[in-house]
Amino acid sequence: MVGSRGMGDDGVALVELAGVSKTYGGVRAVRSVDFTVWAGEVHALLGENGAGKSTLMKVLSGEVAAEEGAIRIGGVPARFARPADAQRAGVAMIHQELDLVPALSVAENVFLGREPHTRYGVLDRKRMVRTTKALLEQSGVDLDATAPVERLRTGEQQLVTIAKALSLNAQILIMDEPTSALSPVKSSDCSQ
């Protein structure tokens, strides 16, 4: 797979994977993959079940360590030992199985693990809700920031994970099988 060419801001590819391989036991999940993404591009990775799509994306998002190959982000060699390393480099991954906490609100999920506190050390719920509302608005998503995510449809939950990824200032957003989120407008809302 090779990304089609379009120039980034500075003529350097945003992402370059070169010769990436990953084996699970005896199963060769990914074999010598080269993949280039330029700023502003959207890529779709196609392949049958078990072809290695998720594994390749997990290598890019720091969840799986490749045995061979190199990653460059903005031309700079990167070594991701864990997802937090990839996040710091601007890579966000939205999983096939959504990693949201059902009983928590949209805002609490967006800020999970990095909750803001007031200067008195108390959880700053107002700020979480205010920031989440702004994020949702910016993404054109009409959802209640205070609603528990378990009340949302799967597609809406996926939009929450996208808002969360954007709040991390992701430069590279990976969505694993995101089709369920691609119909934010209900058919009854469509006018002829």
Ligand X SMILES: Nc1ncnc2c1ncn2[C@@H]1O[C@H](COP(=O)(O)OP(=O)(O)OP(=O)(O)O)[C@@H](O)[C@H]1O
Chain residues in the site for ligand X (CB under 6 A) = 24, 27, 29, 47, 49-55
Smallest separation, CB 47 to Mg ion (Å): 9
Q: How far is the CB of 179 from Mg ion (least distance, A)?
A: 12
Of 59 and 110, the one with the shorter C-beta distance to ligand X is: 59
Q: Which does 29 bind (CB under 5 to 8 A by kind): Mg ion, ligand X, none?
A: ligand X
Q: How far is the CB of 121 from Mg ion (least distance, A)?
A: 41
Q: Does 167 bind Mg ion (CB under 5 A)?
A: no
Nearer to Mg ion, 54 or 105 (CB): 54
Q: Which does 101 bind (CB under 5 to 8 A by kind): ligand X, Mg ion, none?
A: none
Candidates 1-9, 46-54, 82-90, 128-136 — which segment interacts with Mg ion by CB under 5 A? 46-54
Picked from Mg ion, ligand X, none, the partner binding residue 74 (CB below 5 to 8 A depending on kind) is none
- Closer to ligand X by Cβ: residue 68 or 124: 68
CB of 83 to Mg ion, least distance (A): 17
Pattern 53-82, binding to Mg ion, x per CB under 5 A? -x----------------------------
| Sign of the CA dihedral running 67, 71, 76, 82 | negative
Give the one entry of Mg ion, ligand X, none that residue 112 binds, where binding means its C-beta sits below a cut-off of 5 to 8 angstroms depending on kind. Answer: none
Work out the angle between the directed axes of helices 154-167 and 125-138 (0-180°, nearest 10): 100
Nearest to 141 by CA among 103, 185, 109: 185
**Nearer Cβ to ligand X (41/176):** 176
DSSP line for the chain: --PPP---TTSS-SEEEEEEEEEETTEEEEEEEEEEE-TT--------TTSSHHHHHHHHTTSS--SEEEEEETTEEE--SSHHHHHHTTEEEE-SS----TTSBHHHHHTTTS--B-TTS-B-HHHHHHHHHHHHHHTT----TTSBGGGS-HHHHHHHHHHHHHHTT-SEEEESS-GGGS--S-GGG---
The overall longest dimension of the chain from CA atoms, in Å, is 54
Write out the residues near Mg ion by the rule CB under 5 A.
54
